[in-house]
Structure 1
Amino acid sequence: MTGAVLTTGRPRRGPRVPLRPALTAVGAVVGLAVLVAALPWLWDSDPAASVLRTLYPEREADPAALEALRRELDLPSNPAVGAAQWLGGLVRGDLGTSWITRGPVAPDVLGALGRSLTLSVAATLVAAVVAAVLLLPALLAGARGRTGGRGVPAGAAILAALPEIVLGSVLVLVVAVGWRLLPSSGFAGPQYLVLPALALGVPAGGLLARVLAVSVDATLDEAWVRSWRSWGSSTARMVSGVARRAVAVAVPQIALLVVGLLGAAVAVEKLFDVPGIGTTALDAVLAQDLPTVQAAVALLVLLGLGLGGLGVLVHRALLGPALAGRELAAGVEVVAPRRVPRSAVAVAALLVALVVAGLPRDLAGDGGRRLAPPSWSLPFGADANGRDLFARFAHGALLTLGSAVAISAICLVVGLAVGIGARSARAGAADVLNALPPVFVGLLVAAVAGPGLLGASAAVALVGWVPLAVHARTLAAEARASGYVRAAELVGASRRRIARRHVLPAVVGPVSRHALARIPHVALALAALSFLGLGAPPDSPEWGAMLAVSQGYLERAPWTVLAPVVGLLGLAGVLASLRER
């Protein structure tokens, strides 16, 4: 009987919920919350002694003074009780009491969060405009039935690789100091938002254009687009329909980009002296005010995870049940190509040549050439101590790039071990960690161990292994599903032998190339932490630390920013060349 449906009388089951990955992700979130709650005890076994050293460094930590501080600040006596009390207060909206001001943390932190959200919204608008301008030619070409203009826009990779702190420094130097069109720092009106919003939004716009370009190309290949063309729909209607569909598909990736804006905003807030939650957390770390650090980091993490979850819900709602399975890749990083592009090789060779030329130069200071401008003898000029900035640029490369290579090697080993050891290719704790920008982790590490290059390297490594593990996990799942692995299982090969002889060779090559391609990204993250004061000390030639010090001399000696900008732009150029593929 045509059209008949045979049933068994049992209700149809819906799609199975991946319970184990969901529980793993929830466990990762809970573990992160407990870690933040236990910060005072991770920093010192007795928070009262820490407060006493911070406020009264000359006073001896006698039991009576410690007990008085515990009563005044309501400090619990052990980490278990302290973490439980802090988490309970967080649920009630009580974010604790500042160790420095002795007042409640919530008003200052929530006010700073409002300013950061204002900046993030302005940057998101800038990113949307930049992405729309970059994607408009592809949308017009696709709406008219042409394929020549489709693909990732040429300028998107360049903009996406721009470091926010470098772009912000250039904007300050040119627009604020040179042209005097806009204020360079503060937060006293709409005009103060323009430069920081551009510094945040332009690179995000390039990355957004890359994400949406994939979605636009996939949408243009759908049957309804061909039907609309055959019906003679106008170009404007076609562009509008394709754009709406592409945005709906890419909503989870857009949410991840907004989360990334929150992380990048910490450095931009410091650069432009915006009193947002990032600078609030940073100042609290440097002042050793851990309750403020706890509140700021907790709100940043909760906001980031909330935006990521909201993106998934909006994505499913926009697509509807019939197309809910239409997903894009979870990450926005581009896996390394099989062959390194020539442009990346050329930029890297130029950067290496500059470093080699600068290494033999003298690092000693000379008071007679203090803040000397660039010349034949001083190609990048001299700093406030009369030191050759070209020599410092070259020696700083050893710190920035050398640390990045070491971090990438560690991340490769960890990523391979975790990815190959995973039982399935489903999301889990690693994907939760992937949503955390390195700056957030850097704040946590600095709160426990104090600022330093080793701590900044650890912070970058703590999240740097995750994309490699996700990549390795996917490749390992594909290898285990292959015929030769199934045959090995049938003849009785052990799981360890299969992993060593079959899975590892299929995974190690592509993931190693991925790790190599991420070295510029790691170096830029490390430089950002040093710029914030969480990495190398201010007197270090590390490029991020050099850029931070140069901000104080932009009006008198703008050339002091040249050396670190050249180095960081060189890294961005290599990263952009790799992303073009």
Structure 2
Amino acid sequence: MLWRAALTAALVCAIGLLPWLSRSDPALTVLKARSAERAPTPETLRAIREQLDLDDGPFHLLAKWLGGLLHGDAGRSWVSNTDVLPAVTQALGASLLLMSGAVVVAVLTAAATCARTLYLGSRRRLGDRGPGGTGSAVLAALPEFLVASVLASVVGVQLGWLPALGWYGPRWMILPALSLGLPAGAILGRLLDDLLPGAFAEPWALAAAARGVPPASVARQALRRCAPGLLPNLGLFVVGLTGGAVAVEQIFDIPGLGRLTLRAALAQDLPVLQTGTLALVALAALAALAARLGVRRLTGPALRDGALHSLHRPAQPAPRVVPLVYGLLLTAVIAPGLPRDPLALDTTARLQAPTWTNPFGTDALGRDVLARIAHGALTTLGTALAVSAAALLTGVLLGLLPRLSRPLVDTVNAVPPVLAALLVTGITGSGPWTPALAVAVVAWSPLATHTSALLGQERATLHLTATRALGAGRWYLLWHELLPAVLPPVVRHALLRLPGIALGLAALGFLGLGAQPPSPEWGLLLAENQPYIERAPWAVLAPAAVLALLGALAVTAAGGTRLPRRRRNVARVTVRPSSPEETAPPPEPPAHSALAARAPTDSPW
């Protein structure tokens, strides 16, 4: 609790210092947020400083805000001059309602993703490996704002089946919930699909199948067996769907907490920004507590008594044909576009449909989309791989120390990505590596949570208890038992998030925190061409298809991820001739001790 309180205090203090860290005049930023047309005269700026007490410094403002918060007063907005607490409460209610719908969609999507594994596993037809299809990987690789744009334009505008703008009732929640829940459910489904084969191979599943237990009951118990490893990640998704749904809330015009926090961060409206972030931190703490209680409720005393079986099974070598095909397709897209000029303008060929000359068409400025995708792959993929490797290393190291990492994960996950980027920019300054550093700050938290969840279950397994009883030390258990069981699924998880990291890097560049137009990064391509999705859908679908192809390649290549086998040194035993005394049969026990002789020597009775 002290560690969590210290992290929350540090986060709130960092947010309070944001206007001064950004090396800009807070009064000028507030003036632009209030009225962009008003001239920033010295008299106007001086009046704003006197009104907001900016000359007293950040620590005085922070102490004043904390003092009012203790009495239920979060202050007044610097921009709208309205009470902060009612606005944040109303926005939090809208975000929680949207999050609940997105969680339902995510659970249904995860169930559909692993339905085949459940069906085959409950009937003992799974074989050595799960099916591991790539459809969920493609869905997980699609950005949320792209899914939201397609649903809003096609389902909402062209077909008119559902409303695409506003927040007035349950019907207005369907499309935003689908936009948020489908990618999140695909990731959860992949993680669950990775654990199910190990659950169906446990002795209880074999015994249930031998006794004729209905397959539905076996599948239900397998889900319960795998749920403890997923509940912490589900808690992270809950917080991410609440504060990180900025793009979806912007597209559908939803007055949620994510959009409110983004606007406050860009306008440097500290009372709103600090209160909204504090609400997200409290929500993250509650979600983590609920996930921990759920894990204890599902596993019972097995975590304490060391009575679990390991869900880890050495992965079989993945078929090399499928990832090779995806790799060749990705190369076939990138290689022909490299000789082309991604910055060449042709205003006479704006938004031109795909032709033999321009296979992917042109954008709003007449630039070749194929050339921009190919040249953007060099920087986007290279940086994404570096950030993914750093996130994987950090996540595994911190995941091995759960008491240290759990409060840190909850606090970091509560920070919206845009706010994290603004804090990083304020501390390090704007530059080409600012988006990479900002994404790396938050990208490790799901991997650390996954590592901690798997580690907790592996520590309670029977084979680890037996190995510890034989005299194995901590380092031996770590290197020979725990890491071989934890690393492969965490590496597969990291590869599954690679396309999202690539998109996050480019999206921050689009917000002015990294690369600027006309840079051909993939996220910039999606964001620049999004307004023309109805008139020129190829300009958006082409980079989205390449991004989905990257996701399919990452998941299929990770399907057989495993650690190299260690060569075990087998001690040579010298056999010597036995003496007659050693080979003689043991003497018969006396009659009165016959019962004791038949009893096992290690019987607890």
What TM-score comes out, normalization by structure 2 length?
0.72
Q: SS at the partner of 2:245? A: helix
Partner SS for 1:97: coil
Deviations 1:133-161 (A, max 9, x none): 33344444444455449736524444444
Structure 1: distance between partners of 2:373 and 2:328? 16
| Distance apart, 1:368 and its partner CA | 1.6
Cα separation, 2, equivalents of 1:157 and 1:543: 18
CA distance in 1, matches of 2:435, 2:307: 34
Q: C-alpha distance in 1, partners of 2:318/2:128?
A: 25
Match 1:281 to one of 244, 252, 261: 261
| Alpha-carbon offset, residue 556 of structure 1 | 2.5
1:121-520 pair list within 5 angstroms: 121-148=100-127, 151=130, 153-154=132-133, 155-172=135-152, 174-176=154-156, 179-213=159-193, 216-221=196-201, 225=205, 232-247=212-227, 250-262=230-242, 264-323=244-303, 342-362=321-341, 363-405=343-385, 407-408=387-388, 415=394, 419=397, 425-435=400-410, 436-437=412-413, 440-446=416-422, 449=426, 454-464=433-443, 519-520=498-499
Equivalent position of 1:332 in the other structure: none
What is the deviation of 1:521?
4.3
Per-residue deviation at 1:45? 7.7
- Equivalent in the alignment of 1:550: 529
Cα distance change on mapping 1:50 and 1:150 into 2, 3 Å: same
For 1:81, the equivalent position in structure 2 comes to 60
The CA distance in 1 between the partners of 2:263 and 2:493, in whole Å, is 35
1:28 is aligned to: 7
The AA in structure 2 aligned to 1:167 is V
1:13 maps to what in 2? none
* Partner residue in 2 for 1:16: none
Amino acid at match of 1:377: T
Give deviations 1:514-551, integer Å, cap 9, x for gaps: 98886544313213434666554465432212212222
Tell me the distance in 2 between the aligned counterparts of 1:178 and 1:255.
36
Structure 2 match to 1:569: 548
Q: Distance in 1 between matches of 2:436 and 2:233?
A: 27
State the shift of 1:459 in Å. Answer: 0.8
C-alpha separation in 2, matches of 1:579 and 1:268 = 30
The farther-off stretch of 547-556 and 465-474 is: 465-474
Q: Deviations over 1:221-259 (max 9, x none)?
A: 555556655665444444444444543564333323333
Kept in 1: contact 2:34–2:80 (CA 8 A): no
Task: Determine if contact 1:521/1:575 at 8 Å carries over to the other structure.
Answer: no
CA–CA distance in 2 between the matches of 1:456 and 1:114? 31
CA contact (8 A) 1:164 1:200 kept: yes
Which amino acid in structure 2 is aligned with residue 185 of structure 1? L
Native 8 Å contact 1:337 1:578 kept in 2: no
Give 3-state SS (helix, strand or coil) of 1:564's partner.
Answer: helix
**Matched letter for residue 254 of structure 2:** V
Q: Contact 2:88–2:272 at 8 Å: present in 1 too? A: yes
SS at match of 2:401: coil
Q: Percent of aligned positions with the same letter in both sequences?
A: 43
Paired residue type of 1:58: A
> Secondary structure at 2:416's aligned position in 1?
helix
Matched residue, 1:541: 520
Would you say the 8 A contact 2:232–2:450 is kept in 1? no
The amino acid that maps onto 2:420 is L
Is the 2:351–2:365 contact (alpha carbons within 8 Å) kept by the matching residues of 1?
Answer: yes
Q: Distance in 2 between matches of 1:96 and 1:327?
A: 53
Relative to structure 1, the CA distance from residue 456 to residue 340 in structure 2 (aligned partners, 3 Å threshold; closer, same or farther) is farther
Q: Tell me: CA distance 1:458–1:61, structure 2 relative to 1, closer, same or farther (3 Å).
A: farther
Give deviations 1:71-129, integer Å, cap 9, x for gaps: 53355712333233334444544333222212223333322222222221111111212
Following the alignment from structure 1 to structure 2, what is the Cα–Cα distance between the partners of residues 277 and 241?
37
For 1:145 and 1:260, the matched residues in 2 are separated by: 37
Is 1:111–2:87 an aligned residue pair? no
- The normalised TM-score by structure 1 is 0.74
Counterpart in 1 of 2:40?
59
Unaligned 5+ segments in structure 1 are 1-21, 329-334, 489-507
CA distance in 1, matches of 2:527, 2:74: 31
8 A contact 1:163–1:572 mirrored in 2 = no
Structure of larger gyration radius = 2
| Change in CA separation of 1:384 and 1:152 when aligned onto 2, cut-off 3 Å | same
- The whole-number CA distance in structure 2 between the counterparts of 1:254 and 1:518 is 15
Q: Per-residue displacement from partner, 1:375-422 (whole Å, max 9, x unpaired)? A: 22222222222222222223333342243245457668x849x94xx8
How many residue pairs match? The answer is: 529
Q: Distance in 2 between matches of 1:372 and 1:524?
A: 25
Q: Which moved more, 1:90-99 or 1:302-311?
A: 90-99
